[in-house]
Structure 1
């Protein structure tokens, strides 16, 4: 609720809406977006009916309790309330998995919030790398914060994306983000502060497809040929082959050995080994060399 986090009704916020600059009271803006308890319950039921995990960003311990009563198993704390340690502790005490957004924060402030969460018995925590600029310019996204936060606090880290387009979110996944938060709108032409940089249905679907493809593409960190590469190794790799017809008894010279496809003979790494070896039988020009060609 607006009164739970805003005291000065004279505070204003300037944003772009429908291509023009708008300045309005923060109180009016946030009050207009409030959800009543029945509306929250209706949204929760609607999401569950469609297999979508429902969660919200409460601004008080009462809001945390309301989400717990709805059976939510996930709750998010906004960047503006990272320093609201009583709220962080209430989230921890609820037993719900908790997401802390870190926009505008110093490392020390994040550390204080994480300590408060853990000190209140919280177990499952996710940090979101975030820049609280709407929209966020490319140069202020700082995706490298994602692995840095994960390493600093030993928790999964995600990305709260306030940039336009999908490139930052996809880059976040490549850097290990476990969760992507992205503003969504049915139509960018709608009135409001976030519409113009939010993802519409087409872009959001494109983002989801991109994330799923990227998850597959990330694969494993183990180094070695893939199944497809194993099948192609013989055709694509090189072998040591005879540069010209060679007679049995001759000693191989370096200029009598070429490296050519396919890779079904001795590999290029055997080149030095072959130089000076005596042939046990005749070899045709272009024939892959093998150990059977060599005299004992």
Structure 2
């Protein structure tokens, strides 16, 4: 689907629309203008997702009303089916792919009904067996986040998806940390490579750190998918804005990722088109160190190695030593045999 120099960049709008269709469309605009491949939202029903007494994460208490339950916070961030339809249509108009994380079975079914051809499984559902089976039975490409998970849990989730109908080569596994923002000491990017090597899957990185350095580094390590939260303004109210990129930062990240992906190349070591003309300039040839008469033997005393590299390669030094000069050579003249 993608060649090795292509990276799928998912601009994660998440719930940073604050329940507003107008803001959601502005987020689509920002993602499209930044050059992201897809913009991702979150599809859920608070009634199916969380109990009314469930606590919020510490970072959510710091960014929203601490006296408010997780249920109350999420209820304000739901997107209706009609809002989904408008956002999907707007994405098509804006020439950017639409993706959404379905947090429950009914949300998955609604996304399928809306024409979504790829699933994003959030970190919290990696241990949800009925959910994984339901996603797997569709046989569609899957992006699986692995925040909070150990290797055994990742393996089990992959096995469930595969036995349910989604082949392992259809799944990209994202290394992830669920803390917002993620401390750099907890990023552990090398775990992405451990996942790749252990399970033979394509890998990527879902980033919750501040800034853009870590996702760029992930590309250099071999990530094929990058997911990153963004917002219109980090000062907006809501749980995820503070750990999100603003529009100019998102664009800078996308541009840097594209540059790094291009610079990684195909791994074949050979002269490149941009440097091929430098070969005769930089490399050297065998030349006469002194005047040499026809019939003289070439020796280490009358031969030298100098630029340009348009004559006999110095790698043939042993072959030339002891041979007879076929003509006279002035000093610094390219040797011929």
Answer yes or no: same fold by TM over 0.5: yes
Quote the residue 2:101 is aligned against.
Answer: 57
Residue 187 in 1 paired to residue 233 in 2? yes
Segment drifting more, 211-220 vs 101-110: 211-220
How far the C-alpha of 1:10 sits from its partner, in A, is 5.0
The Cα shift of 1:86 comes to 0.8
| Aligned residue runs from structure 1 range 2-81, under 5 A | 2-7=46-51, 9=53, 11-15=55-59, 23-24=66-67, 25-81=69-125
Summarize deviations over 1:27-60 as a string: whole Å, max 9, x none: 2322222212221222122112222221211121
Residues 1:279 and 2:322 are matched in the alignment: no
TM-score (norm 2): 0.80
Contact 2:119–2:141 (Cα < 8 Å) also in 1: yes
Q: Does 1:149 align with 2:231?
A: no
CA gap 1:88/1:222 in 2 versus in 1, 3 angstroms: same
CA apart distance, 1:78: 0.7
Aligned to 1:219: 265
Partner residue of 2:165 out of 113, 118, 121: 121
The answer to whether the 8 Å contact 2:147/2:178 transfers is yes
**1:68 shift after superposition:** 0.6
CA distance in 1, matches of 2:52, 2:301: 87
**Candidates 275, 280, 285, aligned match of 1:234:** 280
Q: 1:194-244 CA deviation, whole Å, 9 max, x = no partner?
A: 223311111111111112222221111222211233222111111111112
1:129 deviates by 0.9
Matched, 1:85 2:114: no
- Please give the alpha-carbon distance, in whole angstroms, between the structure 2 residues aligned to 1:29 and 1:16: 9
Q: Distance in 1 between matches of 2:63 and 2:100?
A: 30
In the TM superposition, residue 130 of structure 1 has moved relative to its aligned partner by 0.8
Normalising by the residue count of structure 1, what TM-score does the alignment of the two structures yield?
0.90
Q: How many residues align?
A: 290
Check conservation: 2:101, 2:121, Cα contact below 8 A.
Answer: yes
- Contact map agreement 1:100 1:128 (CA 8 A) in 2: yes
For the residue of structure 2 that corresponds to 1:148, the secondary structure is helix
Are residue 135 (structure 1) and residue 181 (structure 2) matched?
Answer: yes
Give distance in 1, aligned partners of 2:79 and 2:91. Answer: 15
Partners of 1:55 and 1:67 within 8 A in 2: no
Between the aligned partners of 1:283 and 1:226, the Cα distance in structure 2 is 35
Please name the residue that 2:256 is paired with: 210
- Kept in 2, the 8 Å contact 1:247–1:281? The answer is yes
Structure 1 residue 260 corresponds to structure 2 residue 260: no
Matched, 1:175 2:221: yes
> What is the Cα deviation at residue 8 of structure 1?
5.5
Q: Could you give the per-residue CA deviations for residues 145-173 of structure 1, whole angstroms, max 9, x where no partner exists?
A: 22322232222211101112222111222
Tell me the distance in 2 between the aligned counterparts of 1:12 and 1:229: 57
Distance (Å, rounded) in 2 between the aligned partners of 1:52 and 1:79: 24
